[in-house]
Structure 1
Amino acid sequence: MYDREPDLICPEHITVGNNTDQYEDPVTWSDPTVTDNLHKDISATCTPELGSIFDVGSTIVTCSATDDIGNVGSCSFVVHVIGQTFISYNKEPDLVCPEPIIVNNSTDQYEYPVTWKNPIVTDNLLNDISATCTPASGSIFDVGSTIVTCSATDGTGNVGSCSFVVHVMDQTYLSGYSDEGHEFISASGQVAILVVLCILVANLVLALIVVVRYYKWKWKYKQDTFTVRKKKEDDAIYCSVLQP
């Protein structure tokens, strides 16, 4: 007996009303009926598949079935969507970004990196959508204003985005590592060194003042002693002259 390709009977054409939300009420149909003159339990697959989202207009759905020796049978039907706008399908996720961030010029970003909370993402159909930001949280930001852009993609490829600004006031990054791999001294370390140097300089100045005052006092003491001795000697000579 000649092995024929499977015979398929597709569903009737389907019309979708203009007020139907295909996410809430997806387009479905009964599986095509498949018969074969030799083989049993053959199932059909359809393209687009059951439950797909159909655009406005007419879409041909083709279903096919293959028997055990490779014979292929097929049928088709039409899904027609009347002038309809799929609000749920076209809407991208909504994102709420953080407020602008200002980094003080005394902040060391290697010790205290710029971070922020993840943007809030809401979608009219899907949950658990997360956002990614560029530059990422924890990046090192140059002096000036940098725009951070965050985006999120839902299950159908719709992309929502938001942005905010990270502004770094005039700042020199003293910490971290140079391109040659040499470790720099952190800003806090440099402040500590500066404080120690100031204390040392103050102590040296104070010691110098004490030494100068000491020698000044010693010089004055010698002068006063010499003056007193000289006066005594002069008085003694004067007295000896007056005596007969």
Structure 2
Amino acid sequence: MKMHESQSHVRAHGGQVVQGKDTNIAWRWTLSPKDPCRSTSVRIGGSKLDTPVLVDNSLVGSNDLNCIDNEAPAFEHCPASLITRNTDPGQPTAMINWGNPIAIDNSDGIPTITCNYKSGANFTIGETAVNCVAVDASGNSKECQFRVRVTDNEVPEFEHCPASLITRNTDPGQPTAMINWGNPIAIDNSGGIPTITCNYQSGAIFTIGDAAVNCVAVDASGNSKECQIRIRVTDVEPPVVTSCPANQEMVTVPGQITAIAVYQTPTSTDNSGDALNVTCNPPSDSEIPIGQTKVTCVVQDRSGNNGTCDFHIDVILKGMYN
């Protein structure tokens, strides 16, 4: 059986490939572009031909013709190439809807459209390709593709943030306090575990006064939430007087009934390490009357804690015993 190619007899009949046979000849015929397969003269699948044609000296009638459709469907509507949405509140996904794709075909039939995702599906964070394929009755296909982008802009939430104010006294003999707290815990709508960083770690040493501990939880999309703790270290330890003047005996100034008290300032230390304020009453270089006078010295640190020291000065009248 032979295959013959010719275009000399029926150019007026259209624009697709026509196949047919008689008892002795198999043949293919190419019609001109003016008449598609769906014309009244030649139709897809056992079409009719108004007038039999002569092909290589053989008469071919309407029952011997078959038109092959090799034209792909066309999409009249394909959703936007990129659809963007934020995640649904508290969820790692977003439900996304779009208008269904619509396709037409040269055969006048309705192509079958299948998609790997349906409108109204839930999409996870990131980008996903939606592929829809239209197929006509002859198996010709055309693809419509668009992308779905889901963005997470929801900040993490702290399930546990330590107390907003933690107070401690200084450790004995120290200007600081070691402070511990339970580690912050954060969750995220994405289902991932946020990264938490703090400017201080539990168990850190804090000096006297207030300090701020800032912890920040960051999710995989870069959204962040802050948890802040205030630390207050209080110094309640008084200074320690290491040297206090000894009790003294003095005589009056000639011709006077008083004496000038002169003594060394007490020495002291404090856990804070800061300079201390020392005041004595009556102060050194002041006049003290005849008799016994108690001198009280107060050593104070910057937190207002006081250390004290007492001694006596006995003033006698000059010449009373000598």
TM tier, shorter chain?
0.3 to 0.5
Q: Select the structure that is richer in strand.
A: 2
Q: Which has the higher contact order (CA 8 A, sep 6+)?
A: 1
Q: Name the TM-score, length of structure 2 as normaliser.
A: 0.29
Larger radius of gyration: 2
Q: Select the structure that is richer in helix.
A: 1
Q: Name the TM-score, length of structure 1 as normaliser.
A: 0.37
